[in-house]
Amino acid sequence: MDKTAIPYLDLSANYSWSGFHTFDKDVDLLPLTLEDTSGSHWRFRLRTTLEPSALSSLTDFGVQSITNIKGANDITGECFAGQFGFLNTNTGTIERITGVEAGPANFSSGTITDAFGVRAFINNINVSGVITNAYALYAATQGNGTNTNAYGLYIDTLVGTNKWGIFQAGPELNQFGGNLQSAGSIKSISPTEGIGYGTGAGSNVSQLTSRTTGVTINKVCGRISLFTSANSTTYRSFTVTNSTVSQNDTIIVCQKAGAGLHKIHVTGVFDGSFIISTATISDTSVATPVFNFTVIKSVAS
C-alpha cells in the first residue's frame, strides 16, 4: 500500500503521528481482500502504550481527524469528520454487522472516574454562529429491504450499583412523536409537576338548547360549559361524544365553576362516548356550570 495514502503516518522503524506522540507498538495494514474463514482481522490496527512517569494532565487521542472548512462559499453536500461503512454483497447469512464499536475496557484494579462508550457533543463556539438543528445523537434505519425489528435506540442489560436506562441531568423537555409504552411503572417524583396532559391535548365545548343536549369533544381532556338554565336537584343526563374514548376507559369529571354544588356521575362509558349525570344538592338558581373532564386510558386484560 502506498504510504502517502495515509497522511502523517510514518511506517518506518518508529511509528509516529507528525506533531503528536511516538508509538512503540504495531501499526498493522492488512490486504484489501481477505479469504480467511476464521480468526480476527483488522484492516488497520493502531496499538499504543501510554505510561506517564508522573502525575499527568495529558489529553490523549488514539486517532484524531480534523477538517477545517474555509472560505465563504455555500456547501450543499455533507461533510464528515470520519465515516465508517460495512457493505454487504454476500448472499449468505451474516450474524452481525457493526458500523462502529466503541468499548473502553478496564483491566486494572485502579479507578476510572468517567468511562464513555460513545461521547458526542456539538460545540457552537462563535457567538454569531447558527446551527439550525443540533443533534448530539442521530439514529435512523433506512433502505428498501425488510427490517424485521427496527430499534432507534436499544439498551441492553446494565451492570452497576445504580442503573439508569436513560438519564437526563438537565430540566429540558423530552418529547416523543409516537406512543410511550412501559413494562414497568411510570412515576413522577416532582413535588410540583406530576403526570398529566399538556397543552394541545385538550379542548372545550358548550352545551346548546338544554341540560340534556349532547356535546361532541374529541379530546382526551377538556372543559364542558353546560347550557345556561335553572339548576335542578333532579338528575339530568347528557351524552358526550368523544372518539378518543374506549369502553374500558375511566372518565373523571369535576365541577370547575358555576353556581350550586353539583353531584356529578359518569353513568356510562362506551366506544366513542360517555354519559354524564348531574344534579345540584339544593341550588335551583339559573347558572352556567362548567365541568372539567379527563380520560384515563384503560384495558380489561
Question: pLDDT digit string (tens) for 164-222?
Answer: 999 999 888 888 889 888 898 888 888 998 899 999 999 999 999 999 999 999 999 99
Query: How much is the pLDDT for 48?
Result: 75
Q: 278 forms bridges with which residues in the sheet?
A: 236, 264
Please give the torsion angle defined by the CA atoms of residues 81, 106, 42 and 10, in that order, rounded to the nearest 10 degrees.
60
Beta-sheet pairing, 27-29 with 215-216: unpaired
Query: How much is the pLDDT for 63?
Result: 79
**Domain contains 113:** no
- Cell digits for 78? 455533507
Q: Is the dihedral of CA 96, 97, 99, 104 positive or negative?
A: positive
**Domain contains 152:** no
Q: How far apart are CA 273 and CA 283, in angstroms?
A: 29
Structural domain of residue 4, as residue ranges? Answer: 1-69+76-97
At a CB cut-off of 8 Å and minimum separation 6, what does 264 contact? 253, 254, 255, 276, 277, 278, 291
Domain CATH for 250? 2.60.40
Going from the C-alpha of 138 to that of each of 76, 120, 135, the distances in angstroms are 20, 10, 6
Query: How much is the pLDDT for 152?
Result: 92
Please give the torsion angle defined by the CA atoms of residues 90, 94, 96 and 98, in that order, rounded to the nearest 10 degrees.
-10
Q: How many separate domains does the chain show?
A: 2
**Domain contains 16:** yes
Query: How much is the pLDDT for 34?
Result: 64
**Domain contains 173:** no
**Domain contains 136:** no
Tens-level pLDDT at each residue, the chain (301 residues): 333 333 344 444 444 444 444 444 445 555 556 677 777 766 677 777 778 888 888 888 877 888 888 899 999 999 888 888 888 899 999 999 988 888 889 999 989 999 999 988 899 999 999 999 999 999 999 899 999 999 999 999 999 999 999 999 988 888 888 988 889 888 888 899 889 999 999 999 999 999 999 999 999 999 999 999 999 999 999 999 999 999 999 999 999 999 999 999 999 999 999 999 999 999 999 999 999 999 999 999 9
Query: How much is the pLDDT for 86?
Result: 83
Chain-centroid distance, C-alpha 236? 46
**Domain contains 301:** no
**Domain contains 137:** no
Full-prediction pTM beyond 0.75? no
If DSSP codes are grouped into helix, strand and coil, which group holds residue 3?
helix
Going from the C-alpha of 228 to that of each of 6, 32, 61, 224, the distances in angstroms are 82, 83, 74, 12
**Domain contains 112:** no
